[in-house]
Amino acid sequence: MADLHSVYLGLRLRNPLIISSSGLTDQVSKIKKLEECGAGAVVLKSLFEEQILHEAGKMMDQTDYPGAEDYLKVYARNHSVSEYLRLIEDAKKETRIPVIASINCVSTSEWIDFARNIEQAGADALELNIFYLPLQTGKSSADYEAIYLDLASRVKETISIPLAVKLGQHFTHPAGMVEKLYHRGIKGVVLFNRFYEPDIDLEHMHFKAADVFSTPSELSHTLRWVGIISSLVEKIDVAASTGVHTSEGVLKMILAGAKAVMMCSAIYKNGPEYIRKVISEVNQWLDKNNIKRIEELRGRLSYGSLENPAAYERAQFMKYFSALH
């Protein structure tokens, strides 16, 4: 069996598979089960501070976008700060895998103090799940990006455990954004968060939630940016998230340059025991290819390692059209 040890955010993981921030990680009993089934680490369910919710409410009052408010409310339910801190303490006491806490941020308000409490409770690292809906047409993209950067800097000033920022998929210049985060002391980025999205029920003509789970077809978008950003901003750790449903997905992300690979939807759908299958298949594949350490694989097919990196850059279908006609 190959050595699967990986280092992410300076934390030593027994394997690179991390269970993403979600309802899968909101109780110690669940975290213990994930550890027993072989998870390399967990990111706890995000903490949504009251202030954030309040501000989100105000933000939503000015818009006609009820979906986003519902999303925040669902996340916030039953998660008071003290409960959250207890979850960190208990998870640290009762498991041995790294425990990464997560805060959902929408503004630079007093909640930053909670980051200090999270550090004191013993979290090994903190992931910032930043969600900011750009609704003010008078503002520029740079104005919105400045909010992310300011948040990251302020938390970095507050605590000394490693910090990761979990980004959404829709930045104009993701690599530039990650480079800026790196210069603010951020150790890792999670590419990408997959937010609640709206849908419309045509039969009853009302607004509803789109499918909350990803599909394996979403892997490609993640793969492109993991490959590119792990090459262009080499010093930051990249964790892949969204669309990884199988052991093949894990291996592809490592080949593209990911330090860690996160899974959420696949575990919701298949249960925690599925982790054993994924890890065992990763091992089988490495054995079959005579690879002794997963580290040997990392970044072998990243943007920077390819002789012809155009494969990562290609976005238009011209070639396919000519082949199909």
Ligand X SMILES: Cc1cc2nc3c(=O)[nH]c(=O)nc-3n(C[C@H](O)[C@H](O)[C@H](O)COP(=O)(O)O)c2cc1C
Binding site for ligand X (CB under 6 A): 20-23, 45-46, 75, 102, 129, 166, 193-194, 212-214, 241-244, 263-265
Nearer to ligand X, 228 or 278 (CB): 278
CB of 223 to ligand X, least distance (A): 12
CA 241 to CA 195: how far, in whole Å?
A: 12
CB of 124 to ligand X, least distance (A): 16
151 φ, ψ to 5°? -55, -50
Nearer CB in complex with ligand X: 46/231: 46
Measuring CA to CA, how many Å separate 154 from each of 13, 50, 122? 27, 19, 20
Least distance (Å) from ligand X to the CB of residue 91? 15
Nearer to ligand X, 95 or 214 (CB): 214
The pair phi, psi for residue 250, each rounded to 5°, is -60, -50
Least separation in angstroms between residue 310's CB and ligand X is 27
Closest separation between CB of residue 236 and ligand X, Å? Answer: 18
CB of 222 to ligand X, least distance (A): 8
Q: Which residue has the tokens 């350490």?
A: 293
Residue nearer to ligand X on the CB measure, 2 or 239: 239
As a whole number of Å, the end-to-end CA separation of the chain is: 47
Give the integer Cα–Cα distance in Å for 108 and 280: 43
Nearer to ligand X, 121 or 264 (CB): 264
Measured between alpha carbons, how far is 2 from 87 in angstroms, rounded to an integer? Answer: 33
Q: Which is nearer to ligand X, 14 or 166 (CB)?
A: 166
As measured in angstroms, the least distance from the Cβ of 296 to ligand X is: 25
* Alpha-carbon gap, residue 213 to 265, rounded angstroms: 5
Q: Cα–Cα distance between 65 and 86 in angstroms, integer?
A: 34
Please tell me the distance from the alpha carbon of residue 252 to that of residue 246, in angstroms, as a whole number: 10
The least distance separating ligand X from the CB of residue 117, rounded to whole angstroms, comes to 18
**Three-state DSSP state, 128:** strand
Alpha helical stretches, state H, 65-196: 66-76, 81-94, 112-121, 141-158, 174-183
Residue closer to ligand X by CB (options 140, 215) is: 215
Bridge partners of 215?
A: none
Residue with tokens 């238009």: 316
4 or 130: whose CB is closer to ligand X?
130
Distance of CA 111 to the CA centre of its chain: 21
Q: How far apart are CA 310 and CA 221, in angstroms?
A: 15
